[in-house]
Amino acid sequence: MLLSNPRLLNALFFLGCCGLIATAIFIEPFKSMDPCPMCMMQRAVFILLAIVSFFAFAHGPKNTGKKIYATLTTVIALIGASVASRQLWLQSLPEDQVPACGPGIDYMLEVFPLLEVIEMAIRGTGDCAKVQWTLAGLSIPGWSLIAFLAIALFSLLILFKRKTS
C-alpha cells in the first residue's frame, strides 16, 4: 500500500507540486492570465512543499525523521489551504463587497518590506477575487485547496501511522 512507503508518497508529493507549478506557468501566457498576490503565495507554498518532499524522498529517514517531515509537510500544506480558502472566499463575495484592487506584486516587492507584502497579499485585493479560469466548475484556488488538503491528509496519515520495524 502507498502509505506503507512514505518515501514513495513524498516522491509523489514532489512530482505533483512540480506538475502544478508547471501547469500554472504553462497556462498563464496562453490564457492571458496575470496571477494575483494570493496566486503567487500559493505557488510559493507549492514550491516549498516540493522542496520539503524532495528532501524527505532523498533522505529516506526512519520513524522519527518521517514524523518530522510529515509534520512539516502538513503545516505547510495547511498554510497553503488557508490562502486558497481565503481566495475562494474573496471570489464568492458579491461584486460590491470585493476589496479594491491593489498594486501589482512586482511593485509591492520593490516598495514594501517582505513581511508587509505578505500581509497585504493575505488580505487579498480585487485582483484576487477574479475567476480567471475554471475546470469542472472549480477555479484555480479551488483546485489548489483540494491539492493542499490531499497532501495534508496523506502527511497526517504518515504522521500517525504506527511504527514499523
Which DSSP string do the residues of 109-121 spell out, in sequence order?
A: HHHS-HHHHHHHH
pLDDT interval class at 165 (50, 70, 90): very low
**Strand-strand pairing, 138-139 and 134-135:** antiparallel
Residues with Cβ < 8 Å from 106, sequence gap 6 or more?
none
* 0.85 exceeded by pTM: no
Compute how many other C-beta atoms are within 10 angstroms of the C-beta atom of residue 11.
16
**Is 149 in contact with 63 (CB distance < 8 Å)?**
no
pLDDT of res. 81 = 96
Q: Give 30-62 pLDDT, tens digit per residue.
A: 766 777 778 888 999 999 999 999 999 998 888
**Is 155 in contact with 17 (CB distance < 8 Å)?**
no
Task: Tell me the residue ranges of DSSP E strands in the chain.
Answer: 134-135, 138-139
Compute how many other C-beta atoms are within 10 angstroms of the C-beta atom of residue 22.
10
- Number of helices (H), then strands (E), in the chain: 7, 2
Return the DSSP state at 97.
G
Q: Give 56-86 pLDDT, tens digit per residue.
A: 999 888 888 889 999 999 999 999 999 999 8
Q: Give 78-131 pLDDT, tens digit per residue.
A: 999 999 998 888 888 787 776 666 666 677 778 888 888 777 776 666 667 777
**Is 147 in contact with 155 (CB distance < 8 Å)?**
no
